[in-house]
Amino acid sequence: MLARAVAAPMLRRRLAHGVAAPTLRRLLSVDAKAFCDRLRLRARGGRGGRGAVAWDVTNRSRGRKPAGGSGGTGGDVIVRVAPHKDALDATRRFAVGEDGTNGGPSMRRGRDGPPTYVDVPRGTAVNGTVLHRPGEQMVVARGTRGSPGNGVYRGQGAFGLTASAAPSDVVVDLEMTLTADVALVGAPNAGKSSLLRALSRAEPKVAHYPFTTTHPVIGVVEFSSNEGAVDVVRVLDVPGLLEGAASGRGLGDDFLRHVAKCASALHVVDASSDDPLSDLETVRGELLNFGLDMPFRVLLSKSDLVTSERLSELEGALSSYNVSVASSTSGEGLGEAALHLRRLAHASRDHAIDAAPARQTATPVTVYT
């Protein structure tokens, strides 16, 4: 299936004609201050409706006939994987299912409460069970059944009417095991933020000095196919890594913790730096020292600042890697860079799904107050 070539309006004029650029729909990124990859949620299912006490009096019946309907079942709380979700909702700490309605006369049963959905990103662990596929769901809190009406019994002595059971509070631990499909890693001022700006609607800070990115930023890139299907790739821009980052220099260990929750990495190397090969080896070494041996590709950025002979020399020196060349300023090579992101994401997803164990229903933990 071949992706159609569409880009953001600002980039269509810049993309090289010889590269089949994928469809890039620029979506809003997660605000860095609201970025949340770990959350404890309290959930409670809806309460069942109350059964009705009602009587039908007909010409054929001697006396009154019980005809009260039962209450509806309360709604469940369901955690659902949403393909466009980038992070957990830090403002949502409680989720409650909708209550069922009460029963009515003439054996009318109450309406069941609709479920309440908590949307999470792909790769979120729910009480230790990881949800991988878009649309995958897990019930974390069930609603209680409605109480029976007097019509469910037979005989004139059917006066039994009880309230439905009260639902219990449940603790649900949510943690993103997969923050993004691809992490953009590299030395400070390598062009990672400019690349993310060009491919998505994220707005990381960009300047001509190093350490302009001080916190991780997520951008979402969509690829549209000829059949109308949409493929979403989440890209994480990580602040520049220094030598010794794995040991905590420059908050590097905190940044590498976010990289560890990505499925693959794109090493962005500044082609105009004094020693691009040394920059790549330094960042690769810090990832390996942190225990991160993940699929990766190499992107030579800022290709508009060097000559074609220098680019050919660098590509030859990096021939042992999968290398692409792009410029966020001129737009040259961005289509190929986006395709590399997609290939990395697909390869890592297939590996994660194949390696994932069979899903089992997690046992909720009840909160006693």
| Res. 214 pLDDT band, cuts 50 70 90 | low
Q: Let me know: does 348 contact 236? Beta carbons within 8 Å.
A: no
Tokens of 237: 């821009």
| Res. 16 pLDDT band, cuts 50 70 90 | very low
| Res. 298 pLDDT band, cuts 50 70 90 | very high
Q: Which residue has the higher pLDDT, 238 or 214?
A: 238
pLDDT score, position 61 = 59
**How much is the average pLDDT of 202-210?**
57
pLDDT score, position 260 = 86
Category of 129 on φ-ψ map: left (φ > 0), alpha (ψ -120 to 50) or beta: beta
CA trace torsion 260, 266, 272, 278 (10° rounding) = 50
**How much is the average pLDDT of 199-224?**
67
Number of other residues whose CB lies within 10 A of the CB of residue 21: 24
The model's pLDDT over 136-187, given as tens digits with 9 standing for 90+, comes to 999 999 999 998 888 887 555 445 556 778 888 999 999 887 778 888 998 8
- Report the C-alpha gap between 271 and 255 in whole angstroms: 23
Does the CA dihedral 238-8-85-263 come out positive or negative? negative
Q: Which of 244-249's residues contact partners 24+ apart within 8 Å by CB, and which partners?
A: 244/286, 245/286, 245/290, 246/286, 246/287, 246/289, 246/290, 247/289
pLDDT score, position 190 = 84
Angle at 348 between CA 22 and CA 26, to 5 degrees: 35
Of the candidates 277, 268, 266, the one whose C-alpha atom is nearest the C-alpha of residue 313 is: 277
The model's pLDDT over 356-369, given as tens digits with 9 standing for 90+, comes to 444 444 444 333 32
Tokens of 121: 């990103």
pLDDT score, position 213 = 58
Q: Enumerate the β-bridge partners of residue 237.
A: 184, 217
Residue type, 191: G
Category of 127 on φ-ψ map: left (φ > 0), alpha (ψ -120 to 50) or beta: left
The model's pLDDT over 19-29, given as tens digits with 9 standing for 90+, comes to 344 444 443 33
- Report the C-alpha gap between 126 and 172 in whole angstroms: 7
**How much is the average pLDDT of 214-241?**
76
pTM score over 0.75: no
What is the side-by-side order of every strand in the sheet holding 25-26?
Answer: 25-26, 217-224, 230-237, 180-185, 262-270, 296-301, 323-325
Number of other residues whose CB lies within 10 A of the CB of residue 229: 10
